[in-house]
Structure 1
Amino acid sequence: MTELTADRRRYTGKEINRKRRAEGKIPGVIYGKGIETRSIEFQRKPLEKFLDTARRGTVVVKMTVQDGAEGKESYAVLKETQSHPLTGRVTHVDFYEVALGKKFRVEVPLRIKGKAVGIEMGGVLDVVTRSLEVECTPDHVPEFLDLDVTSLGIGDALRLADVGFPEGVVPTEKDLRMTLAAVHTPKAEAAPAVVEETVAAEGAEGASVAEPGAKEEKPEKEAKKKE
């Protein structure tokens, strides 16, 4: 099991954190259900070495937090990292404390294996989800859950019931019919709509049009009344 050492952090604020990072320290927190959230800091090099191979939420570490002369040991999983937008170097980490022998919930990534036969037939592989939430004890957390898509033809799908979960690991989702990956027929591109030109009728709608050569009919004069 990976081991990490951190120091209890008593300071707060952006300026002091920036100064500590320049000195090779990385701030973080460790928290958990029913326990006090503690501010901590790590030496940059050992933390970055751990992060190079760790996967969020799937690696349990033995954490020793030094608080002066005292050190407290616990077990935790990496929950979140923050990085500098330009350099990409880690600037903050969050760990979630867990108890050995006690079940907890954690997201485990799916690892897609193989090439679906439906792709050779012109189909498209659609991976619906990239991870699954499972419940297990810290010593049973898998690094990956494998999903072999090799046998999928067009119209086929892999569902939650098709996943082989290790002993002691159960999904929190109870609907075993939930689709995880499927091969679909590619959607045909819509043909461009043909716009028919409409010839405007001559004259205003509802107006009468006189025929060529027709004389305009004049109203008859009223006959003079006889005296």
Structure 2
Amino acid sequence: MITLAVKERNAKESTEALRKKGVVPAVFYGPKEDATAISIDGLKLDRVWKEAGETTLVKLTGAGDEKDTLIHDVQFHPVTGSILHADFYVLEKGKKVKIKIPLEFVGVAPAEKLGHIVVKALHEVEIEVAPAELPHHLEVDMSKLENVGDHITASQIPLPPSAELKTGADEIVVSIVEFKEEKIEEPAAVVPAEIIGEKKEGEAAPAEGAETAPAKAPAKEDKKS
């Protein structure tokens, strides 16, 4: 379990002043815990966040009794990416916690090696589990996907002994679909336009020296008397 030292702070204390000293303002709360303002060394919190994320138990020390918590929400600076504030959710001892756990797809599907397509429909599943058995992630074994149509459902993902799946058991996590090469239709042949005056097939060419008959002149209108 990861341990993180914190200090209680006055909620009215300037958060900007804390950040200038490299300290991050935070808060913890829970079903049986009042919201309590705390402060944490910024570098230590950054290391814990990268290791634990939101799915690994973090034990808080230095603010009364030790508390088993989950990092519930983190706010980041939009430019530097540094942590500006963090919430910690205090778990009830002896009670399971309902939480969404990210999936990690392990290995390569044999069907993918044959050129077919892997479709990942879910990237996390919800479980209810004892805090001591909280997994950082759940693994999905891709080596089982050998043929087109093969799939893995949520119920086929291995869980910790105390865990109960809350996501629908039959929900498809990942599947294989056939790769079909798109056929490109060839454009229709373009028929060249007929050139005026061009000799048509089967017509005799005019004799050498012969004149082409002039076009018939339009009829003259009768003069009115």
* TM-score, length of structure 1 as denominator length: 0.74
Task: Give the drift of 1:189.
Answer: 4.9
Change (3 A) 1:23 1:118: same
Give distance in 2, aligned partners of 1:124 and 1:76: 40
How much does 1:51 deviate? 1.8
Distance 2:84 2:182 in 1: 45
Report Cα offsets for 1:52-107 as digits up to 9, x if no partner. 31121x211211243xxxx2321101122221122111111111110232111112
Give the equivalent residue in structure 2 for 1:84: 77
Return the offset for 1:188. 5.4
Q: Which residue of 2 aligns with 1:106?
A: 99
Aligned to 1:137: 130
CA positional deviation for 1:157: 0.8
Q: How does 1:178-193 map to 2 (within 5 A)?
A: 178-186=171-179, 189=182
Find the residue that maps to 2:80 and give its secondary structure: coil
SS in 1 for 2:95: coil
Contact 1:100 1:137 in 2 (8 A): no
> How far is 1:187 from its partner?
6.2
Whether contact under 8 Å (2:155, 2:165) holds in the other structure is: no
Give the partner amino acid of 2:8: R
| Residue 28 of structure 1: aligned partner | 26
For 1:129 and 1:86, how far apart are their aligned partners in 2?
31
1:131-178 residue CA offsets vs partner (Å, 9 max, x unmatched): 1111111111112211001121222110012111121111112x3211
The secondary structure found in structure 2 opposite 1:168 is: coil
Q: 1:47: which partner in 2?
A: 45
Aligned partner of 1:224 in structure 2 is: none
Asked if the contact 1:154–1:184 (Cα under 8 Å) also holds between the matched residues in 2, the reply is: yes
| Uncovered stretches (5+) of structure 2, i.e. residues with no partner | 189-225
State the partner residue of 2:162: 168
Instruction: Look up the equivalent residue of 1:73 and give its one-letter code.
Output: E
In structure 2, distance between residues paired with 1:65 and 1:189? 63
- Once residues 190 and 76 of structure 1 are traced to their aligned partners in structure 2, the CA distance between those partners, rounded to angstroms, is 56
| Matches of 1:8 and 1:74, distance apart in 2 | 13
* Partner of residue 11, structure 1: 11
**In the comparison of the two structures, how many residue pairs are matched?**
188
Quick check: which has more Rg, 1 or 2?
A: 2
* Structure 1 spans left out of the alignment, 5+ residues: 196-227
Cα distance in 1, alignment partners of residues 152 and 111 from structure 2: 13
1:59 is matched by which residue type in structure 2?
T
| 1:57-76 matches, cutoff 5 A | 58-66=55-63, 71-76=64-69
Counterpart code for 2:18: R
RMSD: 2.4
Identity %, equivalent residues: 25
Q: Which amino acid aligns with 2:61?
A: T
| Other-structure match for 1:214 | none
Letter in 2 for 1:165: L
Q: TM-score with structure 2 length normalisation?
A: 0.75
- Counterparts of 1:205-224 in structure 2 under 5 Å? none
SS across alignment from 1:18? helix
Alpha-carbon distance in structure 2 between the residues aligned to 1:23 and 1:133: 39
Verify the 8 A CA contact 1:40 1:65 in the aligned structure 2: no
Higher strand share: 1
User: Offset of 1:113 from its aligned partner?
Assistant: 0.6
